[in-house]
């Protein structure tokens, strides 16, 4: 089996559950707290490994306790680390506000050492990327590193996925390197300037992105599912509702990690979207991000 190579960040997620966000200058009492492994690239790698993929994760860590947390979750999930240790920096962290009523979240992330991932770091892993089934990255580490990874993958004929999170403005040159672009609603809006609120408006935004050179777009729409469009085919995959939504943080990562596995196994697009939706649907019923990713057995049981 060829690997799924993910380039991105690991951070420690400090998640606070409360009725609402504090206003500036205000202190409020929360109802819950958890410290656990996070970072979009790491979460996606964990999701891929748990879902049956051979996941390799390229990143930078400091030499500290949060780096040990990273190694522990990767060991548990079966992710192969491709790490540069950066003793002059620190492993990053994210502050996550969790709305106790809805499970929705707001995040501040400081990537720390991963903000120093360089083009050279990526070029050092060129052989790994060239031998992959899938190369996937996000925008939490510097964009030139992400672009270099996509260039190496594209030149080798490797399927590329860019999860453009957090939102950033991207050149057509970068978008043209993406076989699949997987924004959520707000990222699709930021990339296109078009409002995205439902599957119909998601398709309009997707077509605008196709016109800029993307191969296919999957807009994730939370409870409204996901909208796929490649110009010839448009598909709407409904969200899988599997009980109480406890924590939506990392749902996009679950979707992307599962989607990468499905593509690496050669599933047709409709089945790949369902596999990704099942991965995300299970993850939101559990607290945490990486810790909430389902096993392949759980996904298969759900999909029958």
**250 lines the binding site for ligand RIB (CB under 6 A):** yes
Least distance (Å) from ligand RIB to the CB of residue 44?
A: 9
Q: Is 287 exposed, middle or buried (0-12, 13-18, 19+ CB in 10 A)?
A: middle
**199 lines the binding site for ligand RIB (CB under 6 A):** no
Which of 3, 4, 17, 43 is in the footprint of ligand RIB by CB under 6 A?
Answer: 43
Measured CA to CA, the distance from residue 10 to residue 173 in angstroms comes to: 27
Contact assessment for residue 224 and residue 241, using Cβ atoms and an 8 Å cutoff: no
Which of 17, 40, 56, 148 is in the footprint of ligand RIB by CB under 6 A?
Answer: 40
Total chain residues near ligand RIB (CB under 6 A): 15
Measured from the CB atom, the residue of 112 and 215 that comes closer to ligand RIB is 112
Closest CB to ligand RIB: residue number: 38
**69 lines the binding site for ligand RIB (CB under 6 A):** no
The question of whether 253 is a catalytic residue gets the answer: yes
Measured CA to CA, the distance from residue 211 to residue 229 in angstroms comes to: 12
Least distance (Å) from ligand RIB to the CB of residue 173?
A: 25
Measured from the CB atom, the residue of 40 and 54 that comes closer to ligand RIB is 40
Alpha carbons within 13 A on the beta-carbon side of 203: 10
Which one of the spans 39-47, 118-126, 196-204, 207-215 is the region binding ligand RIB (CB under 6 A)? Answer: 39-47
Measured CA to CA, the distance from residue 295 to residue 46 in angstroms comes to: 10
**141 lines the binding site for ligand RIB (CB under 6 A):** no
Measured from the CB atom, the residue of 3 and 38 that comes closer to ligand RIB is 38
**103 lines the binding site for ligand RIB (CB under 6 A):** no
Q: Is the dihedral of CA 280, 284, 286, 291 positive or negative?
A: positive
Which strands sit side by side in the sheet containing 234-237, from one edge to the other?
80-85, 55-61, 4-7, 134-137, 159-162, 180-181, 216-220, 226-229, 234-237
Q: Give the list of residues 6+ apart from residue 231 with CB closer than 8 angstroms, or none.
A: 207, 210, 216
Q: What angle do CA 119, 124, 125 make, to 5 degrees?
A: 100
**252 lines the binding site for ligand RIB (CB under 6 A):** yes
Measured from the CB atom, the residue of 30 and 36 that comes closer to ligand RIB is 36
**7 lines the binding site for ligand RIB (CB under 6 A):** no
Name residue 106's beta-bridge partners.
Answer: 97
Catalytic residue from among 13, 86, 121, 253:
253
**289 lines the binding site for ligand RIB (CB under 6 A):** yes
Contact assessment for residue 132 and residue 112, using Cβ atoms and an 8 Å cutoff: no
Q: Which residues are catalytic?
A: 253
Given the rule CB under 6 A, which residues bind ligand RIB? 11, 13, 38-40, 43, 94, 107, 109, 140, 249-250, 252-253, 289
């Amino acid at each position: 089996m060829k690997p799924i190579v993910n380039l991105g960040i690991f951070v420690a997620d400090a998640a606070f559950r409360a009725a609402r966000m504090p206003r500036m200058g205000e202190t409020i009492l929360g109802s819950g707290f958890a410290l656990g492994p996070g970072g979009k690239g790491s979460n996606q790698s964990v999701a891929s490994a748990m879902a049956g993929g051979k996941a390799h994760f390229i990143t930078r860590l400091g030499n500290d306790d949060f780096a040990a947390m990273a190694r522990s979750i990767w060991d548990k999930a079966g992710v192969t680390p491709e790490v540069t240790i950066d003793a002059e920096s620190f492993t990053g962290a994210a502050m996550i506000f969790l709305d106790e009523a809805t499970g929705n979240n707001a995040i501040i992330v400081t990537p720390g050492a991963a903000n120093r991932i360089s083009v050279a770091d990526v070029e050092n892993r060129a052989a790994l990327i060239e031998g992959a089934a899938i190369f996937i990255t996000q925008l939490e580490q510097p964009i030139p590193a992400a672009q270099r990874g996509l260039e190496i993958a594209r030149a080798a004929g490797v399927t590329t996925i860019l999860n453009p999170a957090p939102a950033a403005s991207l050149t057509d040159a970068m978008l043209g390197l993406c076989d699949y672009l997987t924004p959520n609603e707000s990222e699709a809006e930021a990339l296109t300037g078009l409002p995205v609120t439902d599957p119909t408006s998601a398709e309009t935004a997707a077509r605008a992105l196709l016109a800029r050179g993307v191969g296919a777009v999957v807009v994730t729409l939370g409870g409204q599912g996901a909208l796929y469009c490649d110009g010839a085919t448009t598909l709407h995959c409904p969200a899988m509702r599997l009980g109480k939504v406890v924590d939506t943080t990392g749902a996009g990562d679950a979707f992307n990690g599962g989607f990468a596995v499905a593509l690496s196994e050669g599933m047709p697009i409709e089945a790949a979207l369902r596999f990704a939706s099942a991965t995300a649907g299970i993850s939101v019923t559990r607290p945490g991000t990486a810790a909430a990713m389902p096993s392949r057995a759980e996904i298969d049981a759900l999909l029958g």
